[in-house]
Amino acid sequence: MPLASTQAFVLGSSPFSEQDQLVHLLTIDKGILRAMAPGSLKVRNRFGSLFELFTEGEFHYYWQENRELITISKGEIIHSYFRIVSDPQNIFYFYLVADVFFKFIPFNRKEDRLYRLLHTILTHREEGVEINLLLLYFLIWVLRIEGMMFNPQMCYNCYAQNIRQAWFKKDFRGILCQRCRTNEPLGLLGEELRFIKWTERHSPKELGIWKDKIDTTKMIRSFTKKIEYHGECTLKSSQYLVEFR
C-alpha cells in the first residue's frame, strides 16, 4: 500500500462506524480528500483533538489501489484554530465556510489557492479582523478561484465600463448597468463594486477600512445566493447568521 503525507485543514468529520470517523481534508496540494480515521472514536485514540474543525495538521496516510478513500495512520497538529472557530461570535460563519467547501468545491482537484485562502481567513480572524468582512472576502475569492466572478467594472450586456451602480443578472453570470437592468432585485453600489475590485490585490488585513462604506449584510446574502445558484446547492448553515434573519 502506498504511503504519503500531506499538510491539510480538517473541513469536518462524521461517524462512519462505531469506532471510525470519516474526515474531509483540504490539502495543500491535492484539493479535498476523503479519509478514514480508524479507531478515532475510541475513548483513548492516537489522534486526540486533531479532527476539530479547521485544525491544520500534517497527516500521514496510505491508500489501496482502486479506492478513492485514503486511510489516516497518524497526524500532528500544526496549528489549532479551535479558540476562534468555536467562539460563539464566529462559529456559524465558519460553518458556512465549511459548507461552501463541501457543496461547491469539487473533490480531488489539485489547487493550492483554496488552502491559502482558508489560511488567510483564519489567521486574520486571530488578528482581530471582523468576521463578517472576512466571510464576504472569502465568498468573493472562492467564486474568483472557481472562475465564476464577474468583472465589477463592466456591464455584462453593453460592456459599459466604470459603472457607478449595478445589479446582479438573474442567472448571476454578470452585472448590469442602470441602462440595461430590467427588474433585477439585487443591487451593488459604487463603493461595493470598488470593494470587489479591491479584494483582487489586497490581503484581508486592511478590510476594516470598508466597514462603514459597504452593506456587508446585503453583499454576504447576494454572494451566498450566487454560490448556491452556480453550485446548484443550498447552503443551509447560512440560516444561522444574523445576516440572513
Is residue 177 involved in binding Zn ion (CB under 5 A)? yes
Is residue 161 involved in binding Zn ion (CB under 5 A)? no
Closest to Zn ion by CB, 148 or 180: 180
Report how far apart, in Å, the C-alpha atoms of 30 and of each of 26, 115, 220 are. Answer: 8, 10, 28
Which cell is 188 given? 451593488
Residue span binding Zn ion (CB under 5 A) among the ranges 101-109, 130-138, 144-152, 170-178: 170-178
Residue span binding Zn ion (CB under 5 A) among the ranges 80-88, 132-140, 149-157, 193-201: 149-157
Is residue 184 involved in binding Zn ion (CB under 5 A)? no
Site for Zn ion in 37-56 (CB under 5 A): none
Least distance to Zn ion from the beta carbon of 190, Å? Answer: 15
Is residue 129 involved in binding Zn ion (CB under 5 A)? no
Beta strand extents in 28-66 (DSSP E only):
32-37, 56-62
Collect all residues with Cβ–Cβ distance below 8 Å to 46 and sequence separation of at least 6: 39, 74
Closest to Zn ion by CB, 25 or 154: 154
- Among 163, 119, 153, CA closest to 137: 119
Is residue 133 involved in binding Zn ion (CB under 5 A)? no
* Near Zn ion by CB under 5 A: residue from 180, 217, 221, 233: 180
Per the document, the length of the chain is 245
Judging by beta carbons within 10 Å of its beta carbon (0-12, 13-18, 19+), is residue 118 exposed, middle or buried? buried
Least distance to Zn ion from the beta carbon of 147, Å? Answer: 22
| C-alpha to C-alpha distance for 186 and 169, rounded to whole angstroms | 8
- The sheet with strand 187-189 has its strands ordered as 175-176, 165-168, 187-189
Closest to Zn ion by CB, 85 or 177: 177
Closest to Zn ion by CB, 145 or 160: 160
- AA letter at 151: N
| C-alpha to C-alpha distance for 46 and 39, rounded to whole angstroms | 8
Least distance to Zn ion from the beta carbon of 119, Å? Answer: 38
For 201-207, which contacts have Cβ atoms below 8 Å and span 24 or more sequence positions? 203/120, 203/124, 204/120, 204/121, 204/124, 204/129, 204/133, 204/134, 204/137, 205/124, 205/127, 205/129, 207/124, 207/129, 207/130, 207/133, 207/134, 207/137
Closest to Zn ion by CB, 50 or 154: 154
Is residue 188 involved in binding Zn ion (CB under 5 A)? no
Residue span binding Zn ion (CB under 5 A) among the ranges 50-58, 78-86, 167-175, 177-185: 177-185
Is residue 155 involved in binding Zn ion (CB under 5 A)? yes
Is residue 157 involved in binding Zn ion (CB under 5 A)? yes
* Near Zn ion by CB under 5 A: residue from 158, 170, 234, 236: 158
Binding positions for Zn ion, rule: CB under 5 A: 155, 157-158, 160, 177, 180
